[in-house]
Structure 1
Amino acid sequence: MATIKDVAAAAGVSVATVSRVVNNGPKVSAKNRKLVKQVMLDLGYRPNANARALVTQSNRTLGLVFSELTDPFFATLAGGVEKIARSNNIQLLISNGLVSAETEQRAIETLLEQRCEAIVVHSKALSDQTLLDYAEAVPGLVLINRYIPAIAHRCVWLDNQAGGEAAARHLLSLGHRNIACITSNYDIEDPRLRLNGIQSALQQQGLPFDEQAIASAEPNEIGGEQAAQNLLARGLNFTALIVYNDAMASGVITVLCDNGYRVPEDVSVVGFDDVLLSRYLRPKLTTMRYPIEMMAMEAAEMALKLANQEPVASLHKYLPTLVKRDSVAPPKA
C-alpha cells in the first residue's frame, strides 16, 4: 500500500506539499496540486482519515443523536440524514440517546470526541440550557423535533399542538362527540402539546375534555395494547380514539378487534406519524403525517452549512397534515 512518502517521491515534491494537497491547504501551485492528485490516483493512495483529522481538527463526518433504533419513526429520521451524508460523500456516525438526559449527553460527547463538527440532535431529555451550551460550543449543531427560541434558526420542529387540534377537528366534523385519547407516558413536550391541541378543538365546540378518557403507556405497539385495555376496563362510552403514534395505534386496533369492536364502524382510530406501517394495517390507518424524513434532510443540510459557516434560513417549522384512510367513519346513529 502506497504511503505519503511514496507519493512525494513519485511526484518530486516534499511530504509537506502532499499533506497540503490532501488537506486542501494553501500555498500549493495549481500545477503541483494537479500533479500530486494524479500520482495519488496512479498509486492508489488513500489518506488516513484519523491522521487527516488530527491535522485539520475535524473530519468528513456527520453526526446524529436520536432516541430509538428499532422505532420506524426514528429509522425514517436516520434515513433522511443518511441521504444527505451520502450525497455529500461523508460518513454518518450515529449515537443513541434513549430519551435519557445522561445518555443523550454522553451521545453528543461521543460524537464530539470523533471531531464531528456537523451534528443533528434529537433530544427530549436534556434541558434547554444544556442544549444552548452545546450550540454555543458547536456551530454546526442543529436540533430536530425541538424548538428553543434563542436558537430558533438552528431548530427544525413540528407544531404538535396544531396536529392534535387537526386530528380532533376531523373527528368532530364527522359527528364524533365522545373522543378518547391514548398518549405516551414519556415526560416530554410532544404528548402534552398534542393533548393541548385536542383539548382546544373540543373546547371550541363547547365539549368537555375528560381526563378519564386519557390512557398513557410506552409509545410502542405493546403500550398501545395496554392503554386500550385500560380504557376499555373503565367502561367509558367513546366512538373515536386519537392515538399518540402509529405504532401504538396498531396495538389499539388489535385490542379493539379482539374485544368485538369493529374499526371504524364502532370506534374510529386516528394515529400520528404516517410511518410505513400505517398503510398496511387493516383497516388502513387514518393518521397525521409527520414529515420526518424531509425535516431530517433539512436538519442535516443545515448542520453541514453551519459547520462551514454558510448562512441558513431563519424558520424551519413544519405542520402535520391529515392522511385519510379507512380507520375513521362517522359514528353510528
Structure 2
Amino acid sequence: MTTIYQVSELAKVSLATVSRVMNGNSRVSDKTREKVLAAMKELGYRPNLTAQSLASNRSNCVGLLVSEIHGPFFGQMMSAVETELRAAGKHVIITAGHSDEEKEKDGIEFLISRNCDAIIAHVEAVSDEYIEGIAKEKTPMIFISRYVASLADKCISLNNEYGGYLATSTMIKHGHKEIACIAGPQSKADAVARLAGHKRAMAEHNLPIKESLIYEGEFKEIGGVLGLEKFIKSNDNFTAIVCANDEIASGVMTYAREHGLHLPDDLSVIGFDNVVFASHLYPKLTTIENPVDQMGQMAAKIILRDVYKQQQDEIQHFYSPTLINRDSIADLT
C-alpha cells in the first residue's frame, strides 16, 4: 500500500507539505500542489480519510439541511453550496427536514452524529428558541433564509417583506388596482413577510385589501391552481395576481389558459424566486429575484473562513430582492 512518505519522496517535498495539500491548505503554492497531486496520481495514493480525521480532528465534511431535495429552488441552493465547498476540497452531506419540526431536529442531530465540521441549515418549522439553543452546541452552524436577531452573524437572509412589496408595487405601477394575492403557508416566516409586503404596497397606494382576494396555498403549482380557482368562483374583479413563488405562478398560468384566459391581457401574473424555469414559461414570467445561489455560496464561504480558516472576500449576511422584468404583466396605464 502506498504511503504518504512515498508521496513526499517522489514529489521531493516534506510530509507537512503533502498534508497541507490533502487538507486544502491555501499556504501551498500552485506549483507545489501540482507536484504533490501528480505524485499521488502516479503512485495511486488514496488518503485514509478516517486517519486524517483522527489526526486533524476534522472530517472535511459539511452538513446541509434543506426543506426538500426536489425542486429548482433547493437545487440551486444545494448546487451553490456543494460547488463552493468542493472547490476547497470539502464534501457535503445532505438531508431534508420537509418543513416539519421533528424532522428538522432529527436532520440536524443526524448531521452532528456524522461528525460534520459544520452545518448549513435551511429550517422553517423549528422555533427561534431552538435555533438559539442548537447554535451553542460544539458544531458550528449557519442558518440560510432565516433571520434570528441574536444570531445575526450566523444567519444569511433575504428581505422578504420588501420582495412582497416590490412585487405588488410593480403591478400597481403598471396600472393594476384590483390585485389578488396567493400567499405561501403562513407557518413559514418568508411567506408571512411576503404577504405583509403585499399589504403594505396596497395600503400605501390607498387600494382596498379584500380578504376574498387573498389565498394561502402551498409553495407548489397546486397552490396556484387552487388559488385562482377560488378567486374565479368568488366573482370578485381582479386583473392581476401576485404569487408567493414561481411554482405557484406556474400553476396560476396553467389553470388560466385551461379556462380560456389570455395572458397577460386577461390576467397579469408575477412570481417570486426567479427559478430556472421562470424564463421558459409562456409568457416569460416577471418575477422577484431571490439570490438563493449567492446565499448558499456565502454560507459556504463563512464556513470556510470560520471553520477551515481560509481567507475569504467580504462576507454578506443580508440580501435585498430585485425585479426581473419579463412578459407576464400587461400595462394598463
TM-score, length-normalised on structure 2? 0.86
- Mapped partners of 2:109, 2:49: distance in 1: 20
- Mapped partners of 1:131, 1:197: distance in 2: 25
Preserved CA contact (<8 Å) 2:287 2:325: yes
Secondary structure of the residue aligned to 1:123 is coil
Cα deviation, residue 38, structure 1: 9.5
Cα deviation, residue 185, structure 1: 2.5
Task: Provide closer, same or farther for how the CA distance between residues 11 and 293 of structure 1 changes in structure 2, counting only shifts above 3 A.
Answer: closer
Match of 1:298 in 2: 298
Preserved CA contact (<8 Å) 1:245 1:272: yes
Match of 1:31 in 2: none
* Rg larger in structure: 1
Match of 1:327 in 2: 328
Task: Provide closer, same or farther for how the CA distance between residues 56 and 258 of structure 1 changes in structure 2, counting only shifts above 3 A.
Answer: same
Preserved CA contact (<8 Å) 2:180 2:242: yes
Task: Provide closer, same or farther for how the CA distance between residues 39 and 179 of structure 1 changes in structure 2, counting only shifts above 3 A.
Answer: closer
Match of 2:29 in 1: none
Cα deviation, residue 9, structure 1: 9.1
Match of 2:171 in 1: 171
Gaps of 5+ in 1: 26-33
Preserved CA contact (<8 Å) 1:139 1:307: no
Q: Counterpart of 2:323 in structure 1: which amino acid?
A: L
Match of 1:75 in 2: 75
Preserved CA contact (<8 Å) 1:269 1:327: yes
Task: Provide closer, same or farther for how the CA distance between residues 91 and 315 of structure 1 changes in structure 2, counting only shifts above 3 A.
Answer: closer
- Deviation track 1:146-198 (CA, whole Å, cap 9, x = no partner) reads 01111111111000000011111111111111000012225111111111111
Cα deviation, residue 45, structure 1: 3.0
Cα deviation, residue 8, structure 1: 6.0
Match of 1:243 in 2: 243
Q: Counterpart of 2:238 in structure 1: which amino acid?
A: F
Match of 2:266 in 1: 266
Match of 1:30 in 2: none
- Mapped partners of 1:295, 1:50: distance in 2: 31
Cα deviation, residue 308, structure 1: 3.2
Preserved CA contact (<8 Å) 1:244 1:272: yes
Task: Provide closer, same or farther for how the CA distance between residues 86 and 43 of structure 1 changes in structure 2, counting only shifts above 3 A.
Answer: same
Preserved CA contact (<8 Å) 1:77 1:293: yes
Q: RMSD in angstroms over aligned alpha carbons? A: 2.9
- Deviation track 1:93-140 (CA, whole Å, cap 9, x = no partner) reads 111111111111111111111211222110111111211222222463
Preserved CA contact (<8 Å) 2:2 2:43: no
Match of 1:210 in 2: 210
TM-score, length-normalised on structure 1? 0.86
- Deviation track 1:244-284 (CA, whole Å, cap 9, x = no partner) reads 11111111001111112111101110000001111010010
Secondary structure of the residue aligned to 2:187 is coil
Cα deviation, residue 303, structure 1: 1.7
- Mapped partners of 1:9, 1:22: distance in 2: 13
Preserved CA contact (<8 Å) 1:165 1:201: yes
